[in-house]
Amino acid sequence: MEDTLTSIRTRVRFKLKTSLTPDEYSENIKNYLKENNKEFTGNINREVATIFVKNENNNYWKPNLALRTEIEDGQTYIRGIFGPSSAVWTFFMFLYFIFSILWMTFFTMYYVEKQINSNDFPWALSASFVALALVLGTYIAAQIGQRLSKEEMKKLRKFAEESTLPHEMKSNEEV
């Protein structure tokens, strides 16, 4: 179990092996959500669960935990992903892509202009620095969002760890 916990700490994605069947695990998550309904909310079915932390402020970087159960070689595995909503993640990847393409385009224009001794695009080097600054700004915005959601991520990690334990084990540990 220690390897599992360590991998959750170091990666955004994780994979857990559990003794529960997918149906038992789904029921386990539902029970855990009921017991902790002041702290968590989510959507659960037999194969996929998406868990959110309840809070007053609903910012753009509100993290969630997506859990998916799979059967491999007769064993139940749970794959999890911590992160923002898919819309936020896609938006940030789109910004990185667009700003990186702009930087490459402007820098290539500058480089080719210098190679052929032309002066058609005197603004290309400045524009490449602006595009690079936009990439850096996107990175900084993502880092700020991650820091703002640090406490929620800790709660989601706790959820991931505790919801994989069979219900009887949690009851015994609390005694």
Specify the pLDDT at position 165: 67
pTM of the model: 0.69
Q: How far apart are the first and last CA of the chain?
A: 21
The amino acid sitting at 95 is L
Return the structure tokens found at 92.
């940030």
Write the CB contacts of 113 (distance below 8 Å, at least 6 apart in sequence).
119, 120, 121, 124
Return the structure tokens found at 75.
């064993």
pLDDT along the chain (175 residues), means of 10: 44 78 85 86 84 75 84 86 82 94 96 92 95 96 83 84 62 42
